[in-house]
Structure 1
Amino acid sequence: MLGLCMGLAGVVWAQLPVASFTLAWTHSIEKVQWEEDYRVTPDGLLLGEARVKGSGAGMEIPDGAELREGAWHYQRRIPPLQPLRLGRAPEAGDYQLCLDRRCRPLGDWLGPPQADRPALELWSCATGFGAPAMD
């Protein structure tokens, strides 16, 4: 089964058998909430809709964004990411991983952000969960 792998340099720290997820975080300086929806595909993580609740330094609202329910909604057309690289430092707080609209810190799967592990990668992978494919 295809799912989400988390780790660094191809070393898997955690796997989740999911087809889609939302990555959410609060900007460390501006304190503005961001969310990005991803679909797990064989080619990588495909970004769908993204939302941001405000703007600030280095956080411009993209052209074509629509304000709905207090957040700017937009879509960027980019190729699948394989991997998606994230900075993860104790000073910045943790990302939230949302599955079926229930969010939990990445630390629930990986432990808290650590200064000696300032980066994290997410990628699509065969998770080993579920039944093997039948020919």
Structure 2
Amino acid sequence: MSICLAAGALVISLGASEITLSWRHSVQKSLWEEVWQETREGLVIAEARIQGSGAGMDPPDGAKLVGGFWRWKPDLTPLREVVMRRSGATADWRVCVEGRCRSLDELLPAEADPVLMKRCG
């Protein structure tokens, strides 16, 4: 099992069934991270975390402040795919696999938009 990134006909396997997707909020500049896992039912968020709050980024009730991040488990049904848009006006998405983080433009062309995260296969 593995999570893939797709942009048009280009599909890249990340070689892992769990990744961390991160970005910086365009206004607050706070770091936001989501841990995604591939399951038989689809992609699920194991944990969401945000470093700070404001501009619509307030952590939900029940979030806990641990290690400088507000952390919680979103209550979402599994998704078939996650659509990531790239405006060029902000820093690109970052993808971390087993502690190794790379900017999305290291994996796919900078002009590739939208990018879909989905199960491979």
Q: Percent identity of the aligned residues?
A: 34
- The match for 1:124 is 119
* Stretches of structure 1 lacking an aligned partner (at least 5 in a row): 127-135
Q: Is the 8 A contact 1:4 1:122 kept in 2?
A: yes
* Structure of larger gyration radius: 1
Alpha-carbon displacement from aligned partner over 1:84-126 (angstroms, at most 9, x marks no partner) = 11121211210110011121101111022x3xx4422110123
Residues 43, 12 of structure 1: alpha-carbon distance in 2 compared, 3 angstrom cutoff: farther
Q: Which amino acid aligns with 1:60?
A: D
Two-structure CA RMSD over aligned residues (Å) = 1.5
Pairs aligned (count): 121
* Stretches of structure 2 lacking an aligned partner (at least 5 in a row): none
Q: TM-score, normalised by structure 1?
A: 0.82
Instruction: Supply the distance in 2 between the matched residues of 1:98 and 1:42 (Cα, whole angstroms).
Output: 21
Q: Is the 8 A contact 2:30 2:51 kept in 1?
A: yes
Per the TM alignment, residue 5 of structure 1 is displaced from its structure 2 partner at its CA by: 1.8
- Show the 5 A alignment for 1:37-76: 37-76=35-74
Q: Which amino acid aligns with 1:5?
A: C
Q: Is the 8 A contact 1:3 1:125 kept in 2?
A: yes
Instruction: Supply the distance in 1 between the matched residues of 2:108 and 2:2 (Cα, whole angstroms).
Output: 16
- Other structure's SS at 1:61 match: coil
Q: Which amino acid aligns with 1:91?
A: A
Alpha-carbon displacement from aligned partner over 1:22-55 (angstroms, at most 9, x marks no partner) = 0011111110000100111232211111110011
Per the TM alignment, residue 13 of structure 1 is displaced from its structure 2 partner at its CA by: 3.1
- The match for 2:79 is 81
Alpha-carbon displacement from aligned partner over 1:45-74 (angstroms, at most 9, x marks no partner) = 111111100111111211100011111011
Q: Which amino acid aligns with 2:116?
A: E
